[in-house]
Amino acid sequence: MNTETRIGAEELRQSAIDVLKLNDLGTMTSAAPNLYPHMWSWDAAFVAIGLARYDVPRAITELRTLLAAQWSTGMIPHIVFSENSAGYFPGFDRWGTETAAARPQGIMSSGICQPPVHAIALRHIVDRGRENGGTDQEAAESFLAESFDGWLAWHRWLAEVRDPDGVGLIEIHHGWESGFDNSPRWDGPYSRINPGPVEPFTRRDTLHVADASERPDDTEYTKYLWLVQQMASVDFDDRAVQDIIDFRVRDVFFSGIMAASSAVLADLADEIGRAEDASELRGYARRFRNGVAASVDPGTGLARDYDVLAGEWISTQTVSGFAPLIAGGDPAALAVQRNLLLGPDWMGYPELRFPLPPSTSPASAAFRPRTYWRGPVWPFLNLLLGWAAKRDGQRELFETLKTASLRQLADLKFGEYYEPFTGEPLGSLNQAWTAAAALEWIGSER
């Protein structure tokens, strides 16, 4: 690395650390200082990856706080609310989880989940601790042993409750569970929802962006809240929710993460002498890897979601179609996927500011370059794709993603997402997991 690059990387590194400190609430990190003043489940995993690059004990605290909110069923909720619940909508009072028997008392949380990237974060913490040695290594290895049963329970819940038929695809009951909130992936399922009466609401997300059209509109939001009401009406009981909910989709990207994370957790299980649990987790990894591979559309080469209520595959040109690259699997099939990712409809699209995959392909009629999950580029997602590429020995793809990501983040704005053609940061600035992604990319160079 030349002197100019090194100076730039150090400035980026310090700026990213400053963002994580800005968002630090003590034992949890808010996703962003204004728009998202709480802890989000998969945000927390990426935040922990970034924190581990300079403060292993604080990274451990992040995951420990999240795990303390785990429900007795094994589910890890998608939001753990800070005391500033009034600054976000829908807050704890709107979720209706007060009566959920499985929610741990004294901890305010939502009643749904998000993708299980946590074992990947745990792997990073253990690796950074061992690299540092001394008290960092001791703390990381102690946390692995202390927390393992919680992560195992989380994976078991997903495998047993959200894939009861063993098809290798996780069923979600809200677009928010995917993390791809308003993606074109969900247009079909949401179009078939006819909400009943929904309590009046005042949103706050549109107050924190320059252009409200970047966010889902109120008609969409009403459907989101209707699903929450449906779940609350049965106290978030797993079985009852499945029977009454108006949104049941097998999420292929969630499933790809489940496959990858289960394999990582299996390796960690071996390291602490949990051979039987490691075997169970490798079984999950195989199941979901196979489920993801079986979803691939032979015409487009992209993985697909499945709408359970409509009984049909969902074919969209979204980045979720690259779930096999996250899951891992057959080298020949993954080579086809990599060629697509690098091709003219994705990273090779000629008008892109940086060669990074938009959330929806610019070649798709559903593409909207400024609208949340309908077109912008998400930095944390590029980090995940880079991690998978490195895992599979695909150094060239890893380096391409890393170089472009570091150039994108050199504006020091740490946007929630980025306009793919101009590189403009959009959504909330000083986003924690964007800063964390920068730290991990920089750290991987050392």
Of 438, 348, 445, 436, nearest in space to 11 by CA: 438
The DSSP result for 123-137, as a single string, is HHHHHHHHHH-HHHH
Rg (CA), the chain: 20
* Torsion angle of the four alpha carbons 329, 330, 331, 336, in this order, in degrees rounded to the nearest 10: -100
Q: For residue 344, is the peptide bond before it cis, meaning its omega torsion is within 30 degrees of 0?
A: no
Burial (CB count <10 Å: 0-12, 13-18, 19+), residue 369:
buried
3-class state of residue 342 by DSSP:
helix
E strand spans, 211-351: 249-251, 305-307, 312-314
Sign of dihedral through CA atoms 202, 205, 211, 212? Answer: negative
3-class state of residue 58 by DSSP:
helix
Q: Is 127 a catalytic residue?
A: no
Q: Is 416 a catalytic residue?
A: yes
The DSSP result for 386-445, as a single string, is HHHHHHTT-HHHHHHHHHHHHHHHTTS---SEE-TTT--EESSSS-HHHHHHHHHHHHTT
| Strand partners for 258 | none
Q: What distances in angstroms separate CA 405 from CA 180, 289, 367, 380, 437, one per listed residue?
A: 20, 27, 21, 10, 9
Catalytic site residue from 181, 345, 399, 424: 181
Catalytic site residue from 214, 277, 307, 416: 416
Q: Find the helix packing angle between 41-51 and 56-68, rounded to 10°.
A: 160
- C-beta of residue 180 within 8 angstroms of C-beta of residue 169: no
- C-beta of residue 434 within 8 angstroms of C-beta of residue 380: yes
- C-beta of residue 141 within 8 angstroms of C-beta of residue 268: no
- As a whole number of angstroms, the distance between CA 421 and CA 401 comes to 16
Structure-block tokens of residue 431: 């986003």
Structure-block tokens of residue 130: 């061992």
**390 Cβ contact list (under 8 Å, min separation 6):** 398, 444
Q: Which amino acids are annotated catalytic?
A: 181, 416
